[in-house]
């Protein structure tokens, strides 16, 4: 004889109905977010994607303005140095002819020895101007595709030029010559522009840019 299950007895509860064999469980689809409401923020504690922090700055595609100015000044200075080289060579040739003429008219004249020494000094100065002209023009040409070595060489060149400009400025102030003072100030300003253009960030990025 069977008795109805006692609701107060946990052992008399009927077993839960098992799902039908062969039928998958029906799971409710995830609720779509309500239109117009913001999406849930990512879990707290997860790092967000950094906006490119730590990457080097983009390499400039065109030559920066100050670097272009330094390049133009190199070409201008190289042209002036070339002209001075020619002038000194002509002066050395004229002095050589004058010394040769003096030797044929007089013998054992101390001025002939002095003339030979002057010719030698003029030739040395002409050679120096020629070398500096070649260096200035070469550096200007290398600004387009040159690397960090060109930048460092320009800094050294500008530093030597600034030192010469300071010496010329001191001599012009001592001698009270207006032309020498103007030339010394101009040369000093050009040298400072060279150094500055090579040391600013745009100049450094330009000469350190990748080349393909």
Specify the length of the chain in residues: 212
Residues contacting 211, CB < 8 A, separation 6+: 145, 147
Torsion angle defined by CA atoms of residues 120, 160, 152 and 58, in that order, rounded to the nearest 10 degrees? -130
Asked if residue 37 belongs to a domain, the reply is no
Whole-number Å distance between alpha carbons of 90 and 74: 24
Q: Is residue 29 part of a domain?
A: no
Q: What is the pLDDT of residue 71?
A: 96
pLDDT of amino acid 52:
47
Asked whether 102 and 111 are in contact (CB, 8 A), the reply is yes
Report the chain's terminal Cα–Cα distance, integer Å. Answer: 97
Say how far apart CA 175 and CA 38 lie, in whole Å: 80
Residue 2 per-residue DSSP state: -
pLDDT at residue 96, rounded to an integer: 83
Q: Domain for residue 15, yes or no?
A: no
Number of folded domains in the chain?
1
Q: For the chain, which ranges sit under pLDDT 50?
A: 17-18, 21, 23, 37, 40-44, 46-47, 49-55
- Residue 119: per-residue pLDDT: 83
Q: Identify whether 16 is part of a domain.
A: no
Structure tokens at 204: 């450094």
The domain in which residue 196 lies consists of: 65-207
The pLDDT of residue 14: 53
Question: Has residue 180 been placed in a domain?
Answer: yes
Looking at the domain assignment, is residue 184 inside a domain? yes
Q: 149 near 123, Cβ under 8 Å?
A: no
**Which residue reads 């290398």 in tokens?**
142
Asked if residue 106 is part of any domain, the answer here is yes
DSSP 55-113: PPPPPPSS--HHHHHHHHHHHHHHHHHHHHHHHHHHHHHHHHHHHHHHHHH-SS-HHHH
Within-domain flag for 33? no
Are 66 and 203 in contact by the 8 Å Cβ rule? The answer is yes
For residue 3, the 8-state DSSP code is: -
pLDDT of residue 209: 86
């Amino acid at each position: 004889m069977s008795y109805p299950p006692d609701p107060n007895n946990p052992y008399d509860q009927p077993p839960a109905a098992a799902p039908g064999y062969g039928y998958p469980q029906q799971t409710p689809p995830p609720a779509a977010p309500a239109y117009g409401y913001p999406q849930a923020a990512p879990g707290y504690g997860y790092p967000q994607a950094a906006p490119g922090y730590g990457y080097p700055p983009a390499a400039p595609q065109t030559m920066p303005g100050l670097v272009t100015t330094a390049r133009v000044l190199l070409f201008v200075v190289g042209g002036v140095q070339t002209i001075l080289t020619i002038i000194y060579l002509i002066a050395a040739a004229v002095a050589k002819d004058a010394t040769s003429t003096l030797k044929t008219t007089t013998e054992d004249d101390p001025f002939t020895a002095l003339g030979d020494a002057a010719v030698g000094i003029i030739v040395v100065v002409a050679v120096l101007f020629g070398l500096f002209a070649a260096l200035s023009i070469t550096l200007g040409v290398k600004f387009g595709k040159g690397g960090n070595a060109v930048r460092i060489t320009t800094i050294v060149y500008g530093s030597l030029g600034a030192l010469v400009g300071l010496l010329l400025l001191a001599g012009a102030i001592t001698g009270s010559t207006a032309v020498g003072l103007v030339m010394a100030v101009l040369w000093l300003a050009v040298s400072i522009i060279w150094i500055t253009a090579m040391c600013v960030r745009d100049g450094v990025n330009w000469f350190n840019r990748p080349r393909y």
